[in-house]
Structures are given as C-alpha cells and as structure tokens.
Amino acid sequence: MPIKTSIKRASGWLYLNSPQGRRQLCGAGVILMLHRVLADDRSAELPHRNELCVGPRAFEHLLHWIKRHFDCVTLMELLQADAHPNALARPKIALTFDDGWRDNALNAFPLLVQHQVPASIFLSTDFIGSRQRYWWESLGETLWGIYGSALRQRLIEHLERIGRPLPPVLLLNGNEQQRSLALANYLESLKSLSPQDLDTLTDNCPKESLSQALDWQQVRTLEKSGLIRFGPHGASHTTLTGLDDIHLDQELSRSHDALLQGCRQPLPVYCYPNGDHDERVRQRLAAHRYTYALGTSTGIYRGNSDPLALPRIGVSQRTASRPSLLAWRISKGGLA
C-alpha cells in the first residue's frame, strides 16, 4: 500500500477515535453520496467504475463501519436535528444514492434491510420506468466491450467522425487497469459535449445497453418498507445551471410532479444533477418550495450550512472497502 494511503488511513482512524476528532463531529452530520451497488466487487474495482460503483462486499463492510461509529439516521432526521446535542451523542450519518439505478433495489436494498440502515434515493425522473439511458454508462460499457467488439468498433468510428478519437491505450489489449483508467479520463472529457451530441452518441450504443434505472413499481416497493425515501435529481439529469429560466422551471416542475405521482411521501430535498448550482438555480428551487438541496462539494453538515447547498462525502469502491480513508475525507470536510 502506498505510504500516502497508509498515512491517510491512520489519521482517519485517529480522527474518529480521538477526543479532538469527536469534538469536531459533535452536533455535525455526515451525508454520504453513493450511486450504484453492483453485483460483484471485482467489476466495481476497475477505475472507470470505481467512483460511481461499489460492490456488495465493500458496501456491507461500509454498513458495519458506519454502524460502529455513527448514528445511522434518515436524511430528514439529520437535517432537522437539534443543533446543540448532548456532547456525548454520536455523530449522525445519512446515506444518499443519486440517479435511481435499478441495482439500488437489487443489490443495495437487501443489505440495507438486513442492517436496518435507512437511505434516500434521488431519481432523475425521466429515466424511471423508461428505456432512456445514462450516456456515461452506455458509452463506457460499450467502449469497454461488454456488448462485443463489432458494436464497440461502430461506436469508436462514430467518435472518430465527431473529432473525439479514443486514446491509443484504449485501442490496445494491454493492462486492464491502465485501459480502465484511460476510459475513466476519456468519459470525463466527453462531459464537454452538448446534451444533444451525448444523446446521439447514446443512440449509437447497442440496444442491449438498455436503461438500468429503477421502475415506479420498485420505487413504491422500496418506499413501502419504511426504510427508503425518494427525492428528485432533475428530470433529464441535465445540468440545471445551463438551462434558461423557462427550461429550468420545466425541469424542476417535471421532476417534482413525477415524484408526487410515483411516491407516497417525496422528500422536500432536491439533489442537483452533477452537483451544479448557482444563485439563480437556488432561487428558482426555493420558489418551487424546496427547503433543502444536496450538492457534491465535500464537507460535513452543520446547522449553519446553506440548506440549498448541502455538502456530502462521496463514497467509491476504494473508500467503501477501506473506510478509514473515508474517515480521512470526513476529517478534511470537518476542517472546512
């Protein structure tokens, strides 16, 4: 293990186990941000999946760890907690999942039930129960070759035609880790394309890469358990700051209405797609009667945080399987 990682892990451990660290967390809350829980850990470990995916073993390891160090509460309990709790109270932690992946129901939910840990899932509502696909998933997995080499080649040629050739390392049959890392960086670079271009690219992916989103039946089943609540994460997952006023209002209304239709008790919490927001977006959100909103900036929650720009701590396969690294990230957020 690199020495830097060992130091981070040791200081993370110390943070949660020292009086000084505990003092900093007193009255604070940690909101964890997850996306997907895959069926196996091996595939979640590849760099192009690592940030957004965890495997079931790592996820269960994470659940054990948070139960040992925190009070696992619902997001609303965390947000509405007493700002001046008993100094001996354990810090609170709440789990959130972005996008609304089907694997949240298949792989995460059974473990959440088993360990009785509540969670909130934020849905990009156009995707729920539809055949629409997330571009980074469709492109990433097609380029990784899981739908075969002919379909992969067709997409590569299309990308060349629009001036986005693949880096050479991705075209070779070399080291799996290196190729996966190059793919992660390449997908990141595609974020600069327009939503229309990304839609066209997704249409060039094979039909096999069907939407992997939850459907409304699954949403209702999860909600009925009493352990899971749902909130909006945009309708189309478009970055809200890039929309004009009219389209911004449409996006907010459409996602709000879909949640009202599909759930019994949607959360009064919005979750910004890609974490992007600005003054105008926050004002429109307040006008749509949202009192809280989650971003992607790293930090821990305190009563005085801006309720429409709440920080979170992202969880990856790497940090879920080594939670002392997560403690290190929490300690950094605590200092902010």
Residues near Zn ion (CB under 5 A) are 98-99
With vertex at residue 152, the alpha carbon angle to CA 148 and CA 153, rounded to the nearest 5 degrees, is 120
Q: 31 in helix, strand or coil?
A: strand
Nearest CB to Zn ion, comparing residues 239 and 250: 239
Closest by CA to 134, choosing from 52, 221, 244, 218, is 52
Minimum CB–partner distance for residue 262 and Zn ion (Å): 18
CB neighbour burial string for 139-151, b if at least 16 within 10 angstroms, e if fewer? bbbbbbeebeeeb
Nearest CB to Zn ion, comparing residues 78 and 271: 271
Minimum CB–partner distance for residue 163 and Zn ion (Å): 26
Is the C-alpha dihedral spanning 118, 97, 57, 103 positive or negative? positive
Is the C-alpha dihedral spanning 89, 296, 298, 310 positive or negative? negative
Minimum CB–partner distance for residue 236 and Zn ion (Å): 11
Q: Where are the alpha helices (DSSP H) in 94-148?
A: 102-103, 109-115, 135-144
Structure tokens at 328: 């290190």
Residue of this chain nearest to Zn ion (CB atom): 98
Minimum CB–partner distance for residue 221 and Zn ion (Å): 22
Minimum CB–partner distance for residue 98 and Zn ion (Å): 4
Minimum CB–partner distance for residue 105 and Zn ion (Å): 17
| Contacts with 312 (C-beta within 8 Å, 6 or more apart), sequence order | 31, 32, 33, 96, 294, 295, 296, 297, 298, 299
Minimum CB–partner distance for residue 327 and Zn ion (Å): 25
Angstrom distances, CA of residue 271 to CA of 154, 275, 290, 328 = 35, 7, 10, 24
Nearest CB to Zn ion, comparing residues 170 and 308: 308
Nearest CB to Zn ion, comparing residues 24 and 211: 211
Q: Under a CB-based contact definition with an 8 Å cutoff, are residues 44 and 50 in contact?
A: yes
* Structure letter (DSSP) for residue 107: I
Minimum CB–partner distance for residue 59 and Zn ion (Å): 18
Angstrom distances, CA of residue 161 to CA of 48, 165, 166, 206, 252 = 24, 8, 11, 18, 35
Nearest CB to Zn ion, comparing residues 25 and 37: 37
Minimum CB–partner distance for residue 35 and Zn ion (Å): 7
Nearest CB to Zn ion, comparing residues 99 and 141: 99
Q: Under a CB-based contact definition with an 8 Å cutoff, are residues 100 and 214 in contact?
A: yes
Nearest CB to Zn ion, comparing residues 200 and 239: 239
Nearest CB to Zn ion, comparing residues 98 and 126: 98
Nearest CB to Zn ion, comparing residues 13 and 136: 136
Structure tokens at 84: 């001046």
Q: Under a CB-based contact definition with an 8 Å cutoff, are residues 65 and 325 in contact?
A: no
